[in-house]
């Protein structure tokens, strides 16, 4: 699936830094939304010091769509001054079928699409996963605690499909693509379900964010990553890339996972990317990593991707 007329190779492929390691609330209790330009610039300096030339603001850190026009222009000026570009915007835990805030999040997603078009970002990543519950907040790794699940309800599935299709029509009007993030216990929580969902949406601007890391990290049986990738590769767009160590003991049923650098985890990104490239994948990557110095590990992951992408 081609997203650009520019011929991409390992040297110019857009590979963005995620901002998941930066919270929205600062140590003094204030919000990044209200932070001074100098504070924003200091965080962006971390990103450039790690060698990144692209960034995804990631709305768990900063909601670009909720900035005033003047504040957005200030932020974009800092992005330019830092030598960065924004190939895509990711949203997190703002499901359009959230039982309490779904209507609000739908309006927000429309604003994100308009903001992406305004700043020149080509893709937006939306998901159907809900905010962390208290058990997940207390866990070392939030995915080891059970989160909220999309209801097993045809009417809610239909509502989700219709709302994503609505966003797809908007995305097409403003020249932006939508990538739906695979995530456990949602309608995008398995390869088969994710493919069926995007086929039901049936809009050319809507594809999948093949974030298999969200699934292989689960402490439960999951489909082999290669089998999942074969199914989702034809629909892959903007891609959150992260990996995990995964150990399964067939004699006891014990499954243990932990975050891993991209080249060392259970997913072979060399093979997975080749599957996507065979279907014309030409979208940006986002490097994510949980735990430790996530930005530095993401920078290592960026260099690994550059080694394995086409010359």
Q: Which residues of the chain have pLDDT under 70?
A: 1-5
End-to-end Cα spacing for the chain: 19
CA distance 213 to 244: 7
Number of structural domains (the chain) is: 1
Query: For residue 43, what pLDDT is reported?
Result: 98
Domain containing residue 58? 15-308
Nearest to 261 by CA among 234, 289, 223, 224: 289
Any domain includes 173: yes
- The dihedral over CA atoms of 203, 187, 55, 280, expressed in degrees to the nearest 10, equals -50
Query: For residue 5, what pLDDT is reported?
Result: 57
CA distance 268 to 262: 8
Lookup: tokens for 73: 């222009």
Lookup: tokens for 265: 């985890």
User: What are 115-139's pLDDT values in tens digits?
Assistant: 999 999 999 999 999 999 999 999 9
Query: For residue 2, what pLDDT is reported?
Result: 39
Q: What is the CATH number of the domain that holds 259?
A: 3.20.20.150
CA distance 22 to 125: 18
Which distant-in-sequence residues (6+ apart) come within 8 Å of 208 by Cβ? 179, 180, 182, 188, 194, 195, 198, 232, 235, 236, 237
Any domain includes 10: no
Query: For residue 132, what pLDDT is reported?
Result: 97
Query: For residue 6, what pLDDT is reported?
Result: 75
- Can you give the pTM of this predicted structure? 0.96
Any domain includes 7: no
Any domain includes 53: yes
Any domain includes 160: yes
CB 182 within 8 A of CB 214: yes
User: What are 57-75's pLDDT values in tens digits?
Assistant: 999 999 999 999 999 999 9
User: What length does the chain have?
Assistant: 311
| Angle between the N-to-C axes of helices 69-81 and 37-49, in degrees from 0 to 180, rounded to the nearest 10 | 30
């Amino acid at each position: 699936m081609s997203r650009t007329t520019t011929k991409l190779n390992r040297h110019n492929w857009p590979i963005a830094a995620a901002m998941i390691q930066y919270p929205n609330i600062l140590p003094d209790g204030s919000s990044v939304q209200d932070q001074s330009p100098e504070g924003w610039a200091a965080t962006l300096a971390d990103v450039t010091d790690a060698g990144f030339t692209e960034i995804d603001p990631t709305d768990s850190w900063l909601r670009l769509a909720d900035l005033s026009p003047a504040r957005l222009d200030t932020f974009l000026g800092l992005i330019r001054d830092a030598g960065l570009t924004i190939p895509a915007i990711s949203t997190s835990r703002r499901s359009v079928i959230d039982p309490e805030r779904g209507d609000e999040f739908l309006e927000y997603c429309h604003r994100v699409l308009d903001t992406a078009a305004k700043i020149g970002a080509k893709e937006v990543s939306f998901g159907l996963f809900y905010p962390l519950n208290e058990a997940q907040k207390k866990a070392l790794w939030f995915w080891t605690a059970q989160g909220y699940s999309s209801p097993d309800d045809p009417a809610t599935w239909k509502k989700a499909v219709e709302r994503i299709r609505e966003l797809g029509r908007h995305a097409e009007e403003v020249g932006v693509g939508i990538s739906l993030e695979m995530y456990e216990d949602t309608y995008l929580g398995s390869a088969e379900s994710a493919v069926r969902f995007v086929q039901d949406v049936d809009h050319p601007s809507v594809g999948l964010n093949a974030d298999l890391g969200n699934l292989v990290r689960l402490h439960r049986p999951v489909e082999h990553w290669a089998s999942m990738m074969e199914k989702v590769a034809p629909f892959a767009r903007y891609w959150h890339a992260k990996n995990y160590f995964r150990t399964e003991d067939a004699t006891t049923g014990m499954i243990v996972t932990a975050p891993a650098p991209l080249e060392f985890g259970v997913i072979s990104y060399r093979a997975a990317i080749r599957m996507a490239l065979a279907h014309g994948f030409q979208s940006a990557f986002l490097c994510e990593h949980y735990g430790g110095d996530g930005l530095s590990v993401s920078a290592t992951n960026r260099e690994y991707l550059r080694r394995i992408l086409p010359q």
